Amino acid sequence: MTSPSTTLSLVDTDPAELAVDAIVIGLHSQTGEQDAAGGPAGALLLASGAESIAAAFDGKLTETLALLGATGAPGEVIKLATLGTVTAPVVAAVGLGPEPTGAAPAPETLRRAAGSAVRALAGARRVALSLPLPDDADAADALRAVAEGALLGGYRFVGYKTRPQPARREPVAEVLVAVPEAGDATARAEIERAHAVAGAVRLTRDWVNTAPNLQRPPVFADAVAEAARAAGLAVEVLDEAALAAGGYGGILAVGQGSEAPPRLVKLTYTPEGGGSGKRVALVGKGITFDTGGISIKPAQGMWEMKSDMGGAAAVGATMLAIAALKPSVTVTGYLPMAENMPSGTSYRPGDVITMYNGKKVEVLNTDAEGRMILGDAIARACEDGADYLFETSTLTGGQVISLGKRISGVMGTPELCERVRTAGDAVGEPAWPMPLPDEVRKGMDSDVADISQVNAGMDRAGHMLQGGVFLREFVADDVAWAHIDIAGPSYHSGEATGYWTKGGTGVPVRTLVHLVEDVAANG
């Protein structure tokens, strides 16, 4: 099931004269300065871009919004009937928080504001955004943020309801972004990029939100392969026979408990002329449903384990964005897929598995399945050749305990981890580097194999770090790598906020795209 699409374009018409169903303006929280309409100190402050709207209301707009309860808090949306004062029948003021001194709001503030406003205006067909955009070197970043926020805030998963939904709940179909010059080449390029990147995020959300009985490994692999071929990517799909012949012991072990066999999907983008000569590998965990296997999970909340393929979904969709953006660097995506089920054929605690790179792994917990399929995929990626390897996965509950639901954990080569953190800050997907201590690895020594899956002595202590330490065993010495644990940020179970809706978030697609573009530009 795919979400309804939202189109986005630029406009340089006076916002007060736009023929739209609603016009969105920015509103700062109380300040000691006069507002855009010349209101008194201490009043709400209209952001730049709202001047003509304020003039049409004879300077009473902030006063009216205050009477309606507006505070200017970030993400707050207050709607006001215009009664003919401007062309649009509705003005929606979205909170931007306090006005930054001498600068426009941060890109992430604009991204969340645009998402909140477009989501709040569901039921309107055509909406315009007249939010503050700087006229300096930061203009492109601000426009990118507004465009991405609008496209992602308008996302809604269609789902499987048999009754038609009320028209007032239909997402906004068309968004216009007010800019000084609609024909500006840089601005138009940002809109094209936003469509490609936000489209990849939306597709990731669709895949994550799909019911697990309708997206078992062979079906998921076919869906990714079909989309990738349509985008012009080279595609290789290894079925269970090819996996057995190739020695992918980790993927096979996890998948052997399910009647739906595992898969490994490889997607390759090659730039014209070979590009920079650098090679980037992206690896994503694709457990289409995780019961925990023999080490079964508690029933409470297990339904959210349909999202355990969020890493593979993100990598697959990122590859589609890369095909559209055409960076000058070779990128290959590896998506190992399996369903972790308890059955008479499931792998067991105590099993010893031979991985793709020949290492023997003692299984202590079948619910540590993600690292098993990722170990094989990482080893294959290194064998194929890569200068930089970024792997992402909903790997550990320890990530949520350590960093919460919004911040990803990053482990690996220190320099590359720092690049991930910087990229995350730039796109609004924060990540924080974590260590890989020697004592954690020592506790994963096995009496019967090269390494055990988990540190039995530490149990849940350093749980996130154990995942990173294990994956390091499968990275070639000459490959810079980063493991991005998205167990919390990839799925949002609370109420919609900013440009996040309930369900899959699409994290870390925008980070991965930024990283690939950074490698293409800077090596």
Pairing of strands 451-452, 360-362: parallel
State which amino acid sits at residue 313: A
Domain ranges of the chain: 7-159+170-180, 198-522
Is residue 442 part of the annotated active site? The answer reads: no
pLDDT of residue 159: 84
Q: Tokens for 92, please give them.
A: 């929606």
Is residue 60 part of the annotated active site? The answer reads: no
Name which of 512, 474, 3, 2 is nearest 250 in CA terms: 474
Q: What is the 3-state secondary structure (H, E, C) of 275-325?
A: CCCCEEEEEECEEEEECCCCCCCCCCCHHHHHHHHHHHHHHHHHHHHHHHH
Mean pLDDT of the chain: 94
- The catalytically annotated residue of 144, 205, 371, 380 is 371
Task: Tell me how far CA of residue 245 lies from CA of 22, 239, 242, in angstroms.
Answer: 59, 10, 5
Query: If you classify domain 7-159+170-180 with CATH, what class do you get?
Result: alpha beta
Is the pLDDT assigned to residue 218 strictly greater than 70? yes
Residues β-bridged to residue 335: 265
Buried b (16+ CB within 10 A) or exposed e, 237-248: bbebeebeeebb
DSSP state of 40: P
pLDDT of residue 41: 45
State which amino acid sits at residue 405: K
367 annotated to a ligand binding site: yes
Interacting residues of 226 by C-beta distance below 8 A, sequence separation 6+: none
Q: What is the pLDDT of residues 413-465, one digit of tens each?
A: 999 999 999 999 999 999 999 999 999 999 999 999 999 998 876 667 789 99
Cα 265-271-274 angle, rounded to 5 deg: 110
DSSP state of 497: B
Q: What is the pLDDT of residues 126-176, one digit of tens each?
A: 999 999 998 887 899 999 999 999 999 999 998 898 887 776 688 999 999
Low-confidence winner among 168-172, 285-289, 433-437, 499-503 (lowest mean pLDDT)? 168-172
Dihedral sign, Cα of residue 17, residue 78, residue 30, residue 138? negative
Is the pLDDT assigned to residue 256 strictly greater than 70? yes
Q: What is the pLDDT of residues 97-135, one digit of tens each?
A: 998 887 789 999 999 999 999 999 999 999 999 999 988
Q: What is the CATH number of domain 198-522?
A: 3.40.630.10
pLDDT of residue 1: 55
The SS3 assignment for 111 reads: helix
pLDDT of residue 459: 65
Low-confidence winner among 271-280, 360-369, 472-481, 485-494 (lowest mean pLDDT)? 271-280
Q: At what angle do helices 107-120 and 139-153 cross, to 10 degrees?
A: 30
Q: What is the dihedral of CA 459, 357, 246, 242, to 10 degrees?
A: 40
CA 171 to chain CA centroid, nearest Å: 20
21 annotated to a ligand binding site: no
Mean pLDDT of 263-292: 95
Q: Which residue has the higher pLDDT, 244 or 456?
A: 244
290 annotated to a ligand binding site: yes
- The catalytically annotated residue of 79, 126, 297, 406 is 297
Q: What is the pLDDT of residues 33-87, one digit of tens each?
A: 555 545 444 579 999 999 999 999 998 999 999 999 999 999 999 999 999 999 9
